[in-house]
Amino acid sequence: MAAFIAGRVLYALGVVFGVSVAVFFLVRIGGDPSALFLPPETSVAEIARFRTLMGFDRPLLVQYWDFITDALQGDFGRSLRYQQPAMQLVLERVPATLELSGAALLLSLVIAVPLAILGAVHRGSIFDRLGLLVSLFGQSFPAFWLAIMLILLFSEVWPVLPPSGRGGLRNLVLPATALAAYSTAIITRLLRSSLIEVLSSDYVRTARGKGLSETAIVYGHALRNAAIPTLTVIGLQVGALLGGAVITEEIFAYPGIGRLAIQSITNRDFTVVQAFVVLTAVLIVSINLTLDLVYAALDPRLRRRH
């Protein structure tokens, strides 16, 4: 088990290193952003001085070496626009995004889990049809359009909820609903099909043969076994939620890391984009690593497979 854990941790570190390389070179495809940060009348000599000051005139590999050695010490450079440490800017906004993504994930689970269980246990029933409808619709709505329509309905036509900003629970309802639509669809669909598969397996038939109640079978056996693939997907949904938060936060003027990411990308604020991407990668990789280790602890066959 120790070798397995060491292997997975090393692999996860490798993935984060790969992400750092990718984002570093990606944001520099179009050259350095000196022109964007200096007034149009700036002389060539002044541009050259700015480039030297920012280190843009050095070879890319040297720049990357400086970036990665500083980043390992927690220094992602200063934001070119805000003149503050880039990682600090991102970290200040993390609680807001975690609040939004957490609320969306919770909402998804509250809707998806009962729908999937009812759908799988009572196949063809009204609950099953409702679950299928939710999963089909949730995957087909453009999230940003849903967000605009929610603002129209609940802030304009029937003004009961605020259309923007961060504050109490009321500010969270509309953005979390818009963000939860896709995840709800995916989780309902997957948990339902996993449960159906488990409910038709031999050990469930044996349990039925032994006279166990349907409730004991579903909650004691089926749900536990269907939870493994569902947990994997919930892990993947964290990435999707963080990605979705980018556009949802923009529409609801919600002060999270997604909104900061869009502003930094359009302003070509390299350092903030790098800090954002590396931080989200660390988060996503850590969640997947934790899930991998939990599965391996639960199911020894997985250790051998890796």
Partner 1 sequence: MSALAFLRRFCRSWIAATGLAVVVLVVFVAVFAPYLMPFNPDAQDIILRLRPPGSNFGEGVHLLGTDALGRDVLSRLMISARVSLLIGFASVVVSGAIGVTLGLVMGYDDRWLGRGLMALTDIQLAVPFLVLALAVVAVLGPSLINLIMVLGVTNWVQYARVVRAESLVLKNREFVHAARALGASTIRILWRHLLPNVMSSVIVISSLQVAKMILLESSLSFLGLGVPASIPTWGVMIADGRNYVANAWWVAATPGIAIFLTVIGINLVGDRLRDLLDPKLRQVET
Best CA proximity match to 97, nearest among 261, 227, 304: 261
Largest CA distance in the chain: 86
Long-range contacts of 134-142, Cβ-Cβ distance < 8 Å, separation of 24 or more: 134/184, 134/185, 134/188, 135/184, 135/185, 135/186, 135/188, 135/189, 135/192, 136/185, 137/181, 137/185, 138/181, 138/182, 138/183, 138/184, 138/185, 138/186, 138/188, 139/182, 139/185, 139/186, 141/181, 141/182
247 binds partner 1 (CB under 8 A): yes
Q: Which of 236, 291, 293, 302 binds partner 1 (CB under 8 A)?
A: 236
User: Pattern of binders to partner 1 over 104-143, x per CB under 8 A?
Assistant: --------------------------------xx-xxxxx
194 binds partner 1 (CB under 8 A): yes
172 binds partner 1 (CB under 8 A): no
178 binds partner 1 (CB under 8 A): no
Least separation, in Å, of the C-beta of 213 and partner 1? Answer: 28
In the chain the first and final C-alpha atoms are separated, in Å, by 11
Query: Applying CB under 8 A, which part among 50-58, 166-174, 202-210, 243-251 lies near partner 1?
Result: 243-251
Q: How far is CA 49 from the centre of its chain?
A: 40
Contact 261, 243 (CB under 8 A): no
Number of residues that bind partner 1 (CB under 8 A): 55
Least separation, in Å, of the C-beta of 245 and partner 1? Answer: 8
Which residues of this chain interact with partner 1, rule CB under 8 A? 11, 14-16, 18-19, 22-23, 26-27, 29-30, 136-137, 139-146, 148-149, 151-152, 156, 190, 193-194, 197, 229, 232-233, 236, 239-240, 242-244, 246-247, 250, 261-262, 265-266, 268, 273, 276-277, 280-281, 284-285
